Amino acid sequence: MKPIIFVLLFALCRDAAFGHEAVKPNIVYILLDDAGYGDLSCYGQKHFKTPNIDKLAAEGMKFTQHYSGSTVCAPTRCSLMTGLHTGHTYVRGNREVQPEGQSPMPADIVTIPRLLKSAGYTTGAFGKWGLGAPSSPSDPAEHFDTFFGYNCQRQAHLYYPDHLWRNKQKIPLDGKTYSEGLILQEALQFIKDSKGKPFFLFLPVTIPHAAMQAPEKNMAEWRKKFPAFENKIGKYAGSETKNPIAAFAAMMTLADEGVGRVMSLLDEMNLDDNTIVMLSSDNGPHQEGGHDPVFFDSNGPLKGFKRDLYEGGIRAPLIARWPGKVQAASTSNLVSAHWDMLPTFCDLAGIETPSGLDGISIVAELTGQGTQQPHEFLYWEFYEKGGRRAVRFDNWKAVQLNLKSIEQAEGIELYDLNNDIGEESNIANKHPELVQQAQQYFAAAHTPSEFWSFGSQKKKPSNNR
């Protein structure tokens, strides 16, 4: 009986520390798709407003130094789901399978929904999966109690699909119905059906990924605001959009309205006070389908876009709201990343976090209870565009390009993010000791993978590589 008594006492102490009297909080995690650091008005967007997301920030905590798991879709989602950075994740890039889906994760991989189900949570995912083809070992239905949306991220390039998936059932559509509304409706129903028991809602919306598409009723006001772009045609995945500038604003407005509907339902069902809502984006802004991130200042003061490992490709918004637990209108400068979500959610659910992760729980930062453990470093590796890797340690950021050809591999670039957030001044030559430290992090953070590798590493590194 002693071990059982100890576990019960530990759980009671944990619950008392969080102040929720043994009631597990509901967890809602919303992931935008290709929204840049500057694409929300609470982060500086000027061309359109995101009032519902801004309200989340006003009633919660806004993070200024949060990072995505990767700079493209699939590895970010794998990092988020598994608590590992891309030096350790199974999925480190986009790998398609035919006729539909992406290369699957292993059948026994540990993920957020599997852990939360063990803690008594009902789990649901609504939107884009991208981590395993239909009926594969990591079909989303193998992880979540309920799934509705796009299994395949390639299929999610279009907002008027001919089918979506409900668990493992293919749902035919007419190709004329905007998918975002259907997916949101299913997510809202999941909240209704889950009342009375703790739930985890993962809402990886497809907005604002290309193609740039929105219903005409939502486009009309933005066509009037951006008439100079009426002759511009955005092309992507076999589709064409007239005035993709208006489309982007309409899409972001729709995403914001969806957040508002989620929040209104939580309030209506008296779930508001016991639900933590978090919102982020999977990587930096894209440049496809006619979208113009320079016009929208989508990366704010940051350098780079999607597929870059400069700040503009990987620094992401993060907002967390939990009435009575997370201080309203607060700002956090904590250096954190998507791979912190798994240990954070385990902490919130009162269950043990698996060992061997790269993530660190940020509950102390969120609640102000206890001392927040910092990261020694954050690490990314990416295999497109010649191969690249990056590490953030303290205020320093190191980036290296063209790793698929050691003979052409470029020297390590070094930036002081405290004084150069735009990564304009490479100061590697001034700090050889920091370049060497970055090299050590690069070596320590990378685990070999049978699927993902840079070029031959036989050439001896120089001080400045």
3-state secondary structure of 286: coil
Mean pLDDT over residues 98-117, rounded?
Answer: 97
Mean pLDDT of 149-162: 97
Confidence at 381, pLDDT banded by 50, 70, 90: very high
Q: Contact, 306 vs 316, CB < 8 A?
A: no
219 and 113 within one domain: yes
- SS3 category, 219: helix
3-class state of residue 86 by DSSP: coil
pTM score of the predicted model: 0.93
pLDDT of residue 4: 36
| Stretch 212-227: mean pLDDT | 98
Q: In this structure, is residue 14 part of a structural domain?
A: no
> Has residue 397 got a pLDDT over 90?
yes
- 134 plus 235 within the same structural domain: yes
* Other beta carbons less than 10 A from residue 64's beta carbon: 14
pLDDT of res. 20: 40
Alpha-carbon gap, residue 247 to 223, rounded angstroms: 8
Q: Is residue 459 part of a domain?
A: no
Kindly state the DSSP code that residue 463 receives in the 8-state scheme. Answer: T
Which structure tokens are listed for 151?
A: 């299994």
What is the CATH number for 414? 3.30.1120.10
Same-domain status, 260 and 222: yes
* 440 and 294 belong to one structural domain: no
CATH of the domain at 313: 3.40.720.10
* Contacting residues for 437 by C-beta, under 8 A, at least 6 apart: 393
Please report whether residue 113 resides in a domain: yes
71 & 155 share domain: yes
Helix (H) or strand (E) holding 234: strand 233-236
Please check whether residues 180 and 260 belong to one and the same domain.
yes
pLDDT at 455: 76
Instruction: Give 14's pLDDT tier (boundaries 50, 70, 90).
Output: very low
Measuring CA to CA, which residue among 49, 50, 79 is closest to residue 66?
79
Residues 363, 382, single domain; the answer is no
Neighbour tally for 321: CB within 10 Å? 24
Report the pLDDT value the prediction gives residue 404, as an integer from 0 to 100.
Answer: 87
- Residue 463, in any domain of the structure: no
Tell me the C-alpha distance between 304 and 314, whole Å.
9
Whether 19 is covered by a domain: the verdict is no
Percent of the chain with pLDDT over 90: 91
Residue 167 has pLDDT above 90, yes or no: yes
Residue 440 belongs to what domain range? 378-445
Q: Is residue 294 in a domain?
A: yes
State pLDDT tens for residues 320-369: 999 999 999 999 999 999 999 999 999 999 999 999 999 999 999 999 99
Decide if 222 contacts 246 (C-beta within 8 A). Answer: yes
The reply to whether 303 falls in a domain is yes
- The confidence score (pLDDT) of residue 16 equals 44
Q: What is the mean pLDDT of the chain?
A: 93
Domain boundary among 367, 402, 423: 367
pLDDT for the residue numbered 195: 86
Token pair 């700079």 is found at 71
Residues 67 and 100 in one domain: yes
Q: What percent of the chain has pLDDT over 70?
A: 92
- Note the pLDDT of residue 23: 87
Claim to verify: residue 358 and residue 389 sit in the same structural domain:
no
Q: Which of 212, 217, 206, 198 is nearest to 182 (CA)?
A: 206
Look at residues 316, 343, 367 and tell me which one is the last residue of a structural domain.
367
* pLDDT of res. 410: 82
- Looking at the structure, tell me whether residues 81 and 57 fall in a common domain: yes
Task: Look at residue 240 and tell me if it is in a domain.
Answer: yes
> Are residues 384 and 277 located together in one domain of the fold?
no
Other CB atoms closer than 10 Å to residue 407's CB: what's the count? 8
- Strand 26-32 with 275-281, pairing: parallel
Is 314 within 8 Å of 67 (Cβ atoms)? Answer: yes
Number of domains in the chain: 2
Say if CB 104 and CB 132 are below 8 A apart: yes
The H-or-E segment that residue 56 falls in is: helix 51-58
| Same domain flag for 339 and 428 | no
